[in-house]
């Protein structure tokens, strides 16, 4: 079978997703070796920088992290100086996780390293195909998150 035929051969979606996840982790995860909680800690920092999610529970739901584990994630990033909990002036029970200036700086450094790693991940894929893939994957991820949230997990 030629390489072109193999490339176009239909394969199982589950297998494809698993292979992509393994390759992505092998290429990108080393960026997070010294970051608290690794890639998931980075995702938490990314989220608190780019979204305004009012509570730790809502943040856990958004990220798909167990609510009982989320405080440990926040504690570790707080100990590293990357996030802090901010009291809501309207409701003393609500504490929003926000990035510190040090967290924003570290995020900017890491995001550049992630970008370089992702470029290696997509090596051999054209810019247009990459953009379509990332858009479609993002759409599926959001739909999956929303579907999971609506079912109450």
> Could you tell me if 149 and 83 lie in one domain?
no
Same domain for 90 and 114, yes or no, is yes
Q: Same structural domain for residues 54 and 38?
A: yes
Closest CA to 59 of 75, 70, 46: 70
Answer yes or no: is 110 within a domain: yes
70 in the same domain as 94: yes
* Mean pLDDT for the stretch of residues 58-72: 93
pLDDT above 80 (res 42)? yes
Rounded Cα distance, 120 and 113, in Å? 11
Tell whether 4 is covered by a domain.
no
27-36 pLDDT tens trace: 999 999 999 9
Domain match, 94 and 151 both: no
pLDDT for 21 equals 94
Whether 61 and 38 map to the same domain: the answer is yes
Asked if 22 and 45 sit in the same domain, the reply is yes
Has residue 62 got a pLDDT over 70? yes
The residues near 65 (Cβ < 8 Å, ≥ 6 apart) are 40, 44, 59, 73
Q: Are residues 92 and 81 in the same domain?
A: yes
Q: 27 and 56, same structural domain?
A: yes
Residue 24 phi/psi, 5-degree rounding, is -60, -45
> 86 and 26 in one domain?
yes
Instruction: Report the percentage of the chain scoring pLDDT > 70.
Output: 90
Domain with 63 in it: what CATH number? 1.10.10.10
- Is 107 exposed, middle or buried, given 0-12, 13-18 or 19+ CB atoms closer than 10 A? buried
Residue range of the domain that includes 44: 13-121
Q: pLDDT tens digit string along 97-112?
A: 999 999 999 999 999 9
* Residue at 88 is within a domain: yes
Q: Into how many domains does the chain fold? A: 2
Q: Are residues 134 and 76 in the same domain?
A: no
Q: Using an 8 Å Cβ cutoff, are 28 and 46 in contact?
A: no
């Amino acid at each position: 079978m030629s390489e072109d035929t193999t490339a176009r051969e239909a394969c199982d979606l589950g297998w494809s997703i698993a292979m992509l996840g393994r390759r992505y982790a092998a290429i990108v995860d080393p960026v997070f070796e010294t970051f608290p909680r690794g890639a998931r800690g980075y995702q938490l920092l990314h989220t608190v920088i780019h979204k305004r999610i009012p509570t730790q529970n809502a943040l856990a739901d958004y990220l798909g992290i167990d609510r009982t584990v989320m405080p440990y994630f926040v504690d570790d990033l707080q100990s590293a100086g990357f996030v802090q909990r901010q009291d809501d002036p309207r409701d003393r029970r609500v504490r929003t996780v926000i990035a510190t200036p040090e967290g924003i700086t570290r995020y900017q450094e890491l995001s550049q390293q992630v970008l370089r790693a992702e470029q290696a991940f997509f090596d051999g894929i054209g810019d247009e195909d990459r953009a379509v893939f990332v858009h479609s994957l993002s759409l599926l991820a959001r739909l999956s998150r929303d579907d999971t949230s609506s079912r109450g997990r």
